[in-house]
Structure 1
């Protein structure tokens, strides 16, 4: 037997209330800004508070004898900044510049460097409660550079720790 129109109406109202409850956002909930990007075909995130600007890739000047973790240096309005070869540090396939490639200028504790990424996919505010600080499920070398994981576009994305990245460069 088919449900009556009253039953259909009640079911629709119930479904609508459930959807509304699922999409309620607590405006007082603490948030953190994250930059989602890809390197070597894999998604990653960094705290947005450490990112000063995102640039199209211009000319990167290589410096002989510098660590293979650096692509070289760039000139940004008269300031010379190093450019980190993050894909090499993460053990991903090598960085190849494309029209979507960017350099994210990161700053932490007064140290400023460019980070070459395949693409910047989004910069959004995420509820702090959604961050998972467990990194045991990540493979090395990503695990040692991550401070957690976060869900983004139906994927679990490693949240990289800029302090850990910088410690590998010293």
Structure 2
């Protein structure tokens, strides 16, 4: 009887060790938050640290004389903010805004601006190891705004875009 008890204790001890090892590995892996959105039928993402908030689509007021990639301005709780058409910057065909459209309020250094997207698909946290180098055949206009990585989400490639690179056009 004592042999069975001893063997059971050994098995339980091994299970505890394996569980503690798996917890340590999972905790050590660096994770990043991504806001995944769609443009046309493709998925893209911004780092969560560069997204202040996600707003439902609202009327954007056109401002004459602005570059064509600035759709206009919106009023957010008394603050007037610009809205960028990422479609125009990346050469992606635009569609008429609908109920799925969102305005992602991006922030980088001292710049805050809205970015019009077709829809926000998800806000997720992923291990940094999930991010791979972008494919070499990626369109140059998209590659210009890519942070240098992509991942797979729901069987689709997601290119991670750099809000800082998008906003650098605003200050040129």
Contact 1:34 1:48 in 2 (8 A): yes
Contact 1:108 1:163 in 2 (8 A): yes
1:28 to partner: Cα distance:
2.6
Q: Would the alpha carbon gap of residues 95 and 89 (structure 1) be closer, same or farther in structure 2, given more than 3 Å must change?
A: farther
Which secondary structure does the structure 2 equivalent of 1:26 belong to? helix
Output the aligned Cα RMSD.
Answer: 1.8
1:95 to partner: Cα distance:
4.2
1:128 to partner: Cα distance:
0.5
1:166 to partner: Cα distance:
1.4
Which is higher, the Rg of structure 1 or of structure 2? 2
Q: Structure 1: which 4+ aligned runs deviate by more than 3 Å? A: none
Q: Deviations over 1:52-107 (max 9, x none)?
A: 11111112100001000011000000000000000111111114211110000000
Distance 1:116 1:101 in 2: 7
Residue 37 (structure 2) aligns with:
37
Contact 1:85 1:95 in 2 (8 A): no
> Unaligned 5+ residue runs, structure 1?
1-23
Distance 2:168 2:75 in 1: 24
The 10-residue stretch of structure 1 (102-111 or 24-33) with the greater mean CA deviation from structure 2: 24-33
Q: Would the alpha carbon gap of residues 40 and 117 (structure 1) be closer, same or farther in structure 2, given more than 3 Å must change?
A: same
Distance 2:144 2:32 in 1: 22
Q: Deviations over 1:18-42 (max 9, x none)?
A: xxxxxx9813311000000011222
> Unaligned 5+ residue runs, structure 2?
1-22
Q: Does residue 97 of structure 1 match 2:97?
A: yes
Residue 77 (structure 1) aligns with:
77
Which secondary structure does the structure 1 equivalent of 2:49 belong to? helix
Distance 1:83 1:149 in 2: 25
Q: Deviations over 1:3-29 (max 9, x none)?
A: xxxxxxxxxxxxxxxxxxxxx981331
